[in-house]
Amino acid sequence: MKKIALLLLLTSFVSICAVLHSCSGGVDRADTSYLEEITIKELGEGFRNGTLSVRRVTEDYLLRIEKLDKSGPMLNSIISVNPDALKIAEELERELKEGNDRGPLHGIPVILKDNIDSKDSMPTTAGATVLMHSFPGRDSRVAELLREAGAIIIGKSNLSEWANFRGNLSSSGWSGVGGQTRNPYVTDRNPCGSSSGSGVAVAANLCAFAIGTETNGSIVCPSNNNGIVGLKPTVGLISRSGIIPISFTQDTPGPMTRSVEDAAIVLGVLAAIDSSDSKTLNPEARFINDYSVYLNKDALKGKRIGLLKNISGFHFKVDSVMNDAVAFMEKAGAEIIEINYPLGSGVSAASFQVMLYEFKNGLESYFASLGEGAPVKTLEELIEFNREDSVELRFFDQQLLIMAAQKGSLEEDEYKRSLAHMQKMTREEGIDKVMRDNKLDALMAPTGGPAWKTDLINGDNFLGSSSSYAAISGYPNITVPMGFIGDLPVGISFFGRAWSEAELLAIAYSFEQGTNHRRAPNYLNSFRFRKRR
């Protein structure tokens, strides 16, 4: 295990150095602090007025990956870097100088979670050793849209293997390919997952923004633990084509950023119909080209927001920070209505059954899409591969893979009953009803607790979460930094009806601009309890 992990780390380090050397005659050790907390808009303005270079910014992000991810605090958030990143940057810089401006993401470096296909010279692994050498040779729809918009895919981020749908007592942010990702605020703490690497890369300013995916909590939890903004959109607003799946019903990609405005900008690029993903063909879908026009510092004024009181009490320090958030929103003119809204009976169990069925169906379809070169073709073959592998079962089992392999087709009654029950209880009898009965503009709750210590023996130590409401219903959810407990950030989630991203972004922006809780990490080795500001 140590030998393999060391080899992977050395390979990634050498790749970064080779990319930097190829275009600069050696690694430039210049100060990269100007990139810390820089926004998409600020980068774009610099590119257009000549104060920043697309190539230099790309090079400096790669240098930050070398300094912070592969050495220094060794965050281990990046699985691979794009060897063509600087060449692409130079081409995009030339386009700008010639007057060909692709829009707000032109020249902006992005990192993709490593379950999202891209045709660059990087594998798509889902963190699994069975896919270490899998090069799909195609873009996912997300990668295609980003590329068309001028974004530069500079790397792939580590994740909880198979997006955290594999086994018992797992540690978020661990994969057989990438090892364990570390939290940049306190490095022995967990980054949460499954979009752990994306969250850490954004928090540590290793990229301008990242793309994560969520089935239940995999965008909002790492955003909570890493002090960033994470947006899980309505399922169907962004295509899932070319993304290694868990659940056709619940999966969605989404932006992970340092600001709400950046999330709005990215969402406008990615929200689009895709004929190869039927969820995007919903006639009720609201595709908006520019969500940033809805951002308003005074958006909280007059809003009725439901506070889920049953998502409290799991951590008295989180409750204290939440009380401060409520006080701010009331002062900003919002009316906060306390609500007890537990998930309906049997909803979580139904969702689990749906994921088991859909994971088998979706993953085997993805294997088939790889063609004759696919390393495995069925879940049973994957399970057998893991049994023979020296890395995969050292810390964690593969019980979820085994359970999914035992399921039948999506025509079985158990699947159909479970799907109908969970959607009815979380939609028409859930969020829709609660918001209608209480005349609400949004719901809110703490996103989760502060990051726990990473533990490869006992696994994760979740204390509380509010992600299931939006995740199981397929409705939108945005988390924003809410404050700190000592040196560890915690977030607040705003969620609501389907296709209400514009309204939620406005509320989140108003909260963010009035509180300004986001701050860059200090890469501490151990937790310190400092006074709250």
Positions marked catalytic: 113, 194, 218
From CA 261, how far away is CA 259, in angstroms rounded? 5
Identify which of 84, 97, 158, 161 has the alpha carbon closest to the alpha carbon of residue 129: 161
Q: Which of 321, 320, 319, 324 is nearest to 309 (CA)?
A: 319
State how far the alpha carbon of 397 is from the alpha carbons of 169, 178, 217, 452, in Å.
8, 17, 21, 21
Angstrom CA distances, 295 to 227, 311, 504, 505, stand at 20, 27, 10, 7
Residue corresponding to tokens 């997952």: 193
* Cα R_g (the chain), whole angstroms: 22
- Residue 136 in 3-state DSSP? coil
What sign results for the dihedral spanned by CA atoms 224, 228, 229, 231? negative
Half-sphere exposure in the Cβ direction for 65 (13 Å, CA): 36
Length of the chain: 533
- Half-sphere CA count of 260, side-chain side, radius 13 A: 34
Which phi and psi (to 5°) does residue 141 adopt?
A: -65, -35
| Helices and strands of the chain, counted as H and E runs | 17, 13
Residues forming beta bridges with residue 443, ordered by sequence position: 306, 495
| CA gap 5, 176 in Å, rounded | 9
Q: List the one residue out of 135, 124, 226, 223 whose CA is nearest residue 175.
A: 124
What the block records as the tokens of 371 is: 């063609």
Q: How far does the chain reach from its first CA to its final CA, in angstroms? A: 43
Tokens found for residue 266: 């990215």
| Integer Cα distance of 321 and 319 in angstroms | 6
Q: DSSP 3-state assignment of 342? A: coil
Longest dimension (CA), the chain: 65
Query: 366, 138 in Cβ contact below 8 A?
Result: no
Nearest to 227, CA basis, from 505, 487, 518, 533: 518
